[in-house]
């Protein structure tokens, strides 16, 4: 195992080496001081990281570009992980809880089912496209977007991704904690349940990518079986005949809002997808990567949400279930609707573990994003940022535990907004300005501001997208002007508006940037 000094700390080549970045004197001095001062805290931490990697396989130098020579052939099972990874991360109690929202909005079961299936596919496609950059470039997702957003604007994107990943994990902790409280008959508090879920996920994320891929490759099987049992035991109570309780423009607004929420459940993975593909060879089929990722997200997400849709529709006739759901929450409802009771408790205990799957992915990707906020932060080892992410997730989960449905509705919708802008900008940069050819990327300059775009075009388009969110979003705490005109309760059109405005804004802005700046 090479030492930190031999690997150059993995942040960039040393002065005079091929591909060496043109750094400012302050940046050079900072890194030189970190490497040469053996008594400094950063040097000690990175030495510790190197020792942990050598002895225990704790991943080090995580954000460094993986060059073609560093990659090895993978087996068909490892390629299948492109889909199974997301199956484990998405088939969970959070998606099950989201499936109740269509019923809460007053929509029929048929409407909720159709929206769930097709919008989950749409969100999966967005992530599938972003995933194709990982093998070809050998870079993590936040490094990939530097070629569109540039050095400085991309830091804003990385910060948003930190918030997003920690928020996903917090939602997962809350829903899993509710289930754990129910299965213990209240003896385990929600706060303790949240802590237990976060700690287990921390352990796996702490080790790094190899442990994550092995764990997620098999974890989905348990939860697939559980959701099949839920379908089998509750399907006969599904209410497919009751029409929507709302009509006209109010119904249209509810449909648009549900679309935003479902899309916000599957598309936000686009900001992390490449994090888990850097070890694949650059010549792996892009079509394979795209399809396995897209449906690896869409199908499991739909399974969990459709189970929620079915159970929610049953609340129309099963008054005891409805009372349990309204008064005691989701965990106790699962325990009431499954039988026999001992078996229900067993399934609920297993279902608690689903929150760990999402947390593992979120904690890992958040730690990588923290490292890309600033050069000095990149020198702090990944395992330290893993601990920081863990602490933030606990704070979010404990603080948001009381209003689960409101938390989900608001948070997931907001996530979809900026991910739409992100994916559109990457798409147009790749196919319009780089002609869909990875040879048009200066991959050796991934960590050099002088060899990356300034990001002016992306910043302009992204800013226009933010304005679009504010004009079209429909949240319980804010109803935008355009959302207000759709029915009594409003309709969320932020994603649609953001897509159009970002797509139209990036093309001329990026063209002018290339014309006058040249990169």
Q: Of 45-59, 215-229, 432-446, 447-461, where does mean pLDDT reach its minimum? A: 45-59
pLDDT of residue 412: 61
pLDDT of residue 120: 97
pLDDT at 6 over 50: no
pLDDT of residue 408: 59
Residue at token pair 């697939």? 224
What residues contact 431, with CB distance under 8 A and at least 6 apart?
A: none
Q: CA nearest 215: which of 18, 372, 414, 354?
A: 354
User: How many Cα atoms within 13 Å fall on the side-chain side of residue 145?
Assistant: 34
* Between 415 and 254, the higher pLDDT residue: 254
HEC-encoded secondary structure of 348-360: HHHHHCHHHHHHH
Q: In angstroms, rounded to a whole number, what is the distance separating the alpha carbons of residues 378 and 374?
A: 6
pLDDT of residue 29: 35
Could you give the maximum distance between any two Cα atoms of the chain, in Å?
74
pLDDT of residue 404: 60
Q: In angstroms, rounded to a whole number, what is the distance separating the alpha carbons of residues 515 and 509?
A: 10
Give 479's strand partners: 474
pLDDT at 30 over 70: no
Residue at token pair 């829903």? 175
How confident is the prediction for the chain on average, in pLDDT?
87
pLDDT of residue 318: 94
Residue 474 has phi, psi (to 5 degrees) of -135, 100
- Tokens found for residue 432: 């319009």
pLDDT at 456 over 70: yes
- Tokens found for residue 333: 């409802």
98 sits in which H/E element: helix 93-98
Q: CA nearest 223: which of 172, 171, 280?
A: 172
pLDDT band of 246, cuts 50, 70, 90: very high
Q: CA nearest 26: which of 38, 18, 34?
A: 34
Q: Which SS3 state, helix, strand or coil, does residue 479 take? A: strand
Cα angle 164, 290, 366 (rounded to 5 degrees) comes to 20
Q: In angstroms, rounded to a whole number, what is the distance separating the alpha carbons of residues 121 and 115?
A: 10
Instruction: Supply the pTM of this predicted model.
Output: 0.88
pLDDT of residue 57: 78
Per residue in 139-188, pLDDT tens?
Answer: 999 999 999 999 999 999 999 999 888 887 887 788 778 778 777 877 88
Mean pLDDT of 442-458: 95
Mean pLDDT of 457-469: 96
Alpha helices in 329-451 (DSSP H): 330-337, 341-352, 354-371, 375-378, 382-399, 404-428
Q: Of 26-40, 239-253, 332-346, where does mean pLDDT reach its minimum? A: 26-40
Q: Give the Cβ contact number of residue 510 at 10 Å.
A: 23
DSSP state of 235: G
Per residue in 295-317, pLDDT tens?
Answer: 999 999 999 999 999 999 999 99
- Tokens found for residue 456: 């002016």
Contact 487, 256 (CB under 8 A): no
Q: Following DSSP, what letter does each residue of 197-260 receive, concatenated?
A: HHHHHHHHHHH-HHHHHHHHHHHHHHHHHHHHHHHHHHGGG---SSPPS--HHHHHHHHHHHHH
Q: Give the Cβ contact number of residue 3 at 10 Å.
A: 12
Q: Which SS3 state, helix, strand or coil, does residue 347 take? A: helix
504 sits in which H/E element: helix 494-516
Residue burial 436-473, b: 16+ Cβ < 10 Å; e: rest: eeeeebebbbbbbbebbbbbbbbbbbbebbeebbebbb
pLDDT of residue 403: 67
pLDDT band of 212, cuts 50, 70, 90: very high
Cis peptide leading into residue 515 (ω within 30°): no
pLDDT at 66 over 70: yes
Q: Which SS3 state, helix, strand or coil, does residue 474 take? A: strand
């Amino acid at each position: 195992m090479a030492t930190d000094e031999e690997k150059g700390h993995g942040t960039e080549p040393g002065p005079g080496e091929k591909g060496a970045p043109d750094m400012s004197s302050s940046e050079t001095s900072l890194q030189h001081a970190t490497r040469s001062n053996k008594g400094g805290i950063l040097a000690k931490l990175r030495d510790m990281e190197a020792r942990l990697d050598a002895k225990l396989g704790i991943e080090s130098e995580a954000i460094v570009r993986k060059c073609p020579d560093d990659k090895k052939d993978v087996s068909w099972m490892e390629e299948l992980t492109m889909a199974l990874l997301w199956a484990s991360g998405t088939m969970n109690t959070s998606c099950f809880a989201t499936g109740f929202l269509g019923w809460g909005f007053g929509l029929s079961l048929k409407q909720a089912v159709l929206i769930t299936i097709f919008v989950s596919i749409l969100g999966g496609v967005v992530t599938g496209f972003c995933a194709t950059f990982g093998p070809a470039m050998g870079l993590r997702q936040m490094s990939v977007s530097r070629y569109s957003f540039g050095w400085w604007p991309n830091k804003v994107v990385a910060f948003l991704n930190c918030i997003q990943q920690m928020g996903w994990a917090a939602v997962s902790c809350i829903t899993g904690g509710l289930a754990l409280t129910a299965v213990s008959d209240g003896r385990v508090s929600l706060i303790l349940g949240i802590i237990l879920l976060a700690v287990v996920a921390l352990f796996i994320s702490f080790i790094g990518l190899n442990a994550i891929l092995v764990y997620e490759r098999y974890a989905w099987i348990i939860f697939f079986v559980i959701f099949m049992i839920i379908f089998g035991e509750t399907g006969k109570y599904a209410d497919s005949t009751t029409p929507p309780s709302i009509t006209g423009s109010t119904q249209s607004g509810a449909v648009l809002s549900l679309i935003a929420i479902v899309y916000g459940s599957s598309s936000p993975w686009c900001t992390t997808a490449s994090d888990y593909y850097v070890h694949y060879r650059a010549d792996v089929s892009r079509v394979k990567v795209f399809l396995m990722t897209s449906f690896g997200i869409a199908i499991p997400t739909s399974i969990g949400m459709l189970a929620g849709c079915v159970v929610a529709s049953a609340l129309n006739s099963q008054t005891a279930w409805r009372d349990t759901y309204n008064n005691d929450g989701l965990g106790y409802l699962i325990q009431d609707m499954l039988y026999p009771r001992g078996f229900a408790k067993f399934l609920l205990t297993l279902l608690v573990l689903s929150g760990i799957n999402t947390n593992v992915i979120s904690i890992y990707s958040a730690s990588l994003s923290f490292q890309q906020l600033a050069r000095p932060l990149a020198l702090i080892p990944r395992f330290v940022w893993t601990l920081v992410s863990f602490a933030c997730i606990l704070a979010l989960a404990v603080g948001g535990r009381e209003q689960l449905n409101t938390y989900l509705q608001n948070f997931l919708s907001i996530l979809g907004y900026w991910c739409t802008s992100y994916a559109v900008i990457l798409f147009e940069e790749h196919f319009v300005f780089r002609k869909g050819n990875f040879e048009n990327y200066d991959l050796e300059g991934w960590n050099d501001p002088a060899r990356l775009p300034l990001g002016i075009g992306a910043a302009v388009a992204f800013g226009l997208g933010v304005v679009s969110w504010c004009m079209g979003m429909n949240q319980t705490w804010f109803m935008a002007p355009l959302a207000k005109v759709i029915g009594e309760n409003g309709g969320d059109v932020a994603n649609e508006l953001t897509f159009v405005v970002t797509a139209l804004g990036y093309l001329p802005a990026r063209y002018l940037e290339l014309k006058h700046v040249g990169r």
